[in-house]
């Protein structure tokens, strides 16, 4: 039943976690309307399974690869599973994020006119189990079964409120793009098996691919996994599906599911393919940074909380793919230390994004529950009504903005070091391109900080823009614990990057052949990926300096001005009718970006006429790629369907003629 190397406790525990999630889902399906049982019993148990899986996978990072052949599948196609450093790392992400999101879900899901709570529980835990199965699959058959299960379960979760037509449309678009990607992945595995007929990953590792076939396999993988990740131009489903889904599902999709696509790209690019071509890296690098810029520019123009975060996920996926491209480029030229730094930055950013994006989606879920509002233009001042949510969201906002000493800064800083300290590459074209791409990375990071200022300032600061916000309430106890846990993770990963990179060393060695930090280059206090003389980062020192400045400022205020300040209404410039509506709006924050990056947008303006009773000016921002690429294809498909539909006459005599003509054609062509 087993195959060498022998299965370990960690592999058995991972399979047990998958089974436990499926059992919890089945129990929920057996009690579809028992909301209290589902929320108070099944989701906490799912949280415990996630925590156990994260602990087991973390301990297995340094273990030798373990494999197992399961007595499942088809007679000649049994399921192969494998646990190595790559799958263990992404299982840590799945377990940790899944644990926090499941805990948050305890108090989130309510009875509604949509899907029954027990069915949501089944789909939710099936989603978790299928993602774990993707990460341990060691053959194309099990991988595709788990991949399709992940797509279907997440589709039904997206369409939880399926009675709303917009949500059904968003779910259909997501499922369509997901299946286009799945076809490309299936073709990629068909190329990788090299005509041997053996679809186990071990056979693909030893297969010999000649000519252009390795390039075909890589770009099929880039297309297929890029469709799931939201890579340009396959990103269109993300800003539609995330706002449609419940907030815990959005957090799970953005924080974890998108990382399964990054896992698949790393698995194919660094494990199954026999070599790297330098131009693969250039294409992935350019496409990733273009996606990052596209995503962050559109995020700056959004007025919907969840659409803003969805476009921000596109930006972060672009950064991850750019890092993978940079690692491939260095690996192709034999620059193993730089490839290791880039690969470590990718893995670190994947972990960071899982934490701070899950945190922000859950925070928006709390805001949505408390206010029933998703539009930024109807929020504001919630820091007074929801201090727990506002505090945790602030940590996530600073982390995703890439500000030290939080975790988002560490991974982006390491990736920038790999760009800046690149030695002269053999290709002059690439030498000229790398500084331009480094500038694009810095621009994307700066715009991300701008977007997060808009997000946090409009939602939590200022005055409430609607009277109903006075009734907003803070998150419940389970939600608070989940938010605080994710915020603490963002702080810990930012303050102690050295130990984390040390834990990632087996993964870095697997991907690049060498560790990212040579002995003496890093410690728990100082991070120096190249050398201390060229660049170093001491996050704990930064934290101490920031804390000291804040404390000194507080002490100075109390010492010099406390008790001497007279509170009075602000100066109103002679206009006494100031209202919350006169604050900066989401549209106002996004106006400079819309002006500078206007070619990115397809803007439709609605101008008032002189005789309007209530004149108003509105601007609708659309995606040029949607109108230039997807709508023409949809129209062509509808036209072809109408032509083919004419064959359906509904008369038996016509169908008999079709059968007769088909028989004649077969007699003519088949001899």
Res 1 pLDDT > 50? no
The burial class, CB within 10 Å (0-12 / 13-18 / 19+), for 372 is exposed
Residue 134 Cα distances to 87, 101, 141, 267, 580, angstroms: 9, 20, 11, 11, 49
Res 390 pLDDT > 50? yes
Residue bearing the bigger pLDDT, 571 or 452: 452
| CA–CA gap between residue 218 and residue 270 (Å, rounded) | 10
| Token pair 């972060």 in the structure block, residue | 316
Question: H or E segment at 602?
Answer: strand 601-606
| CA–CA gap between residue 307 and residue 503 (Å, rounded) | 34
Res 167 pLDDT > 60? yes
What pLDDT, on a 0 to 100 scale, did the predictor assign at position 151? Answer: 94
Query: Which two tokens mark 618?
Result: 């509105």
What pLDDT, on a 0 to 100 scale, did the predictor assign at position 609? Answer: 64
**Residue among 456, 439, 418 nearest 312 (CA):** 456
What pLDDT, on a 0 to 100 scale, did the predictor assign at position 484? Answer: 95
Residue bearing the bigger pLDDT, 11 or 426: 11
Q: Does 124 sit behind a cis peptide bond, omega within 30 degrees of 0 on the bond before it?
A: no
Is 0.75 surpassed by the pTM of this model? Answer: yes
User: Residue 360: what are its φ and ψ, rounded to 5°?
Assistant: -70, -40
Please state the three-class secondary structure of 24-43 as a single string.
Answer: HHHHHHHCCCCHHHHHHHHH
Res 344 pLDDT > 80? yes
Q: Region 117-142: what's the mean pLDDT?
A: 93
| CA–CA gap between residue 546 and residue 379 (Å, rounded) | 30
Residue 81, beta-bridge partner list:
68, 137
CB burial of 100-125 (b: ≥16 within 10 Å; e: otherwise) equals bbbbbbbbbbeeeebbbbbbbbbbbb
pLDDT digits (tens, 9 = 90+) for 644-667: 877 776 778 888 888 888 888 888
Q: Region 280-308: what's the mean pLDDT?
A: 91
pLDDT category at 2 given cuts 50, 70, 90 is very low
Question: H or E segment at 82?
Answer: strand 77-83
Domain ranges for the chain = 278-534, 624-671
pLDDT digits (tens, 9 = 90+) for 453-509: 889 988 998 888 888 888 888 888 899 999 999 999 999 999 988 888 889 999 999
pLDDT category at 156 given cuts 50, 70, 90 is very high
pLDDT digits (tens, 9 = 90+) for 360-371: 999 999 998 888
Instruction: Tell me if 235 sits within 8 A of 294, measured CB to CB.
Output: yes
Instruction: Tell me if 246 sits within 8 A of 108, measured CB to CB.
Output: yes
pLDDT category at 608 given cuts 50, 70, 90 is low
Give 629's DSSP letter.
I
**Residue among 217, 328, 225 nearest 277 (CA):** 328
What pLDDT, on a 0 to 100 scale, did the predictor assign at position 19? Answer: 95
What pLDDT, on a 0 to 100 scale, did the predictor assign at position 575? Answer: 67
For the chain, give the mean pLDDT. Answer: 86
């Amino acid at each position: 039943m087993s195959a060498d190397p022998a299965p370990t406790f960690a592999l058995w525990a991972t399979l047990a976690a998958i089974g436990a999630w499926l059992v919890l889902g089945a129990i929920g399906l057996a009690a579809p309307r028992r909301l209290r049982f589902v929320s108070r019993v099944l989701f906490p148990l799912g949280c415990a399974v996630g925590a156990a899986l994260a602990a087991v996978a973390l301990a297995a990072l340094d273990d030798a690869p373990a494999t197992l052949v399961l007595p499942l599948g088809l007679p000649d196609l049994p399921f192969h599973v494998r646990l190595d450093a790559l799958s263990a790392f992404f299982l840590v992400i799945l377990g940790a994020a899944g644990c926090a999101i499941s805990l948050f879900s305890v108090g989130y899901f309510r009875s509604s006119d949509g899907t029954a709570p027990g069915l949501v529980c089944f789909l939710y835990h099936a989603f978790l189990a299928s993602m774990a199965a993707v990460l341990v699959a060691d053959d194309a058959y099990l991988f595709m079964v788990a991949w399709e299960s992940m797509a279907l379960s997440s589709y039904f979760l997206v369409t939880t409120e399926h009675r709303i037509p917009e949500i059904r449309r968003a779910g259909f678009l997501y499922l369509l793009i997901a299946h286009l990607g799945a076809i490309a992945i299936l073709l990629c595995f068909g190329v990788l098996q090299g005509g041997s007929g053996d679809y186990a990953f071990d056979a693909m590792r030893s297969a010999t691919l000649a000519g252009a076939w390795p390039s075909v396999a890589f770009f099929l993988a880039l297309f297929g996994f890029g469709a799931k990740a939201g890579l340009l131009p396959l990103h269109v489903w993300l800003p539609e599906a995330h706002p449609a889904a419940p907030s815990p599902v959005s957090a799970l999709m953005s924080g974890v599911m998108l990382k399964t696509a990054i896992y698949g790209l790393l698995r194919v690019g660094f494990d199954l393919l026999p070599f790297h071509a330098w131009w693969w890296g250039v294409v992935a690098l350019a496409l990733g940074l273009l996606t990052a810029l596209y995503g962050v520019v559109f995020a700056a123009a959004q007025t919907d909380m969840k659409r803003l975060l969805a476009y921000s996920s596109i930006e972060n996926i672009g950064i991850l793919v750019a890092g993978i491209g940079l690692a491939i480029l260095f690996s192709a030229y034999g620059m193993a230390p730089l490839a290791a730094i880039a690969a470590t930055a990718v893995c670190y950013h994947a972990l960071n994004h899982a934490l701070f994006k899950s945190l922000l989606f859950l925070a928006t879920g709390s805001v949505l529950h408390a206010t029933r509002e998703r539009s930024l233009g109807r929020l504001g001042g919630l820091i007074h009504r929801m201090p727990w949510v506002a505090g945790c969201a602030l940590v996530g906002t600073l982390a995703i903005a890439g500000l030290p000493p939080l975790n988002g800064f560490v991974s982006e800083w390491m990736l920038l070091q790999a760009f800046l300290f690149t030695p002269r590459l053999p290709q002059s074209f690439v030498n000229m391109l790398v500084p331009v791409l480094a500038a694009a990375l810095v621009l994307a990071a700066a715009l991300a900080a701008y977007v997060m200022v808009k997000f946090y300032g409009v939602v939590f600061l200022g005055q409430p823009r609607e009277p109903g916000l006075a009734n907003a309430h803070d998150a419940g106890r389970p939600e608070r614990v989940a938010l605080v846990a994710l915020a603490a993770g963002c702080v810990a990963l930012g303050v102690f990057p050295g130990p984390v990179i040390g834990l990632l060393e087996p993964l870095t060695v697997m991907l690049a052949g060498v560790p990212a930090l040579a002995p003496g280059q890093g410690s728990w206090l100082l991070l120096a990926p190249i050398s201390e003389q060229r660049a170093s980062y001491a996050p704990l020192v930064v934290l101490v300096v920031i804390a000291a400045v804040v404390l000194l400022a507080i002490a100075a205020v109390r010492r010099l001005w406390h008790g001497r300040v007279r509170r009075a209404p602000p100066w109103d410039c002679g206009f006494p009718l100031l209202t919350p509506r006169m604050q900066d709006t989401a549209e106002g924050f996004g106006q400079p970006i819309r002006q500078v990056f206007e070619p990115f947008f397809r803007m439709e303006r609605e101008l008032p006429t002189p005789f309007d009773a209530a004149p108003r000016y509105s601007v609708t921002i659309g995606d040029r790629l949607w109108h230039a690429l997807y709508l023409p294809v949809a129209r062509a498909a509808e036209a072809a369907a109408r032509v083919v539909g004419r064959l359906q006459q509904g008369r038996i005599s016509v169908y008999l003629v079709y059968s007769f003509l088909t028989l004649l054609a077969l007699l003519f062509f088949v001899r």
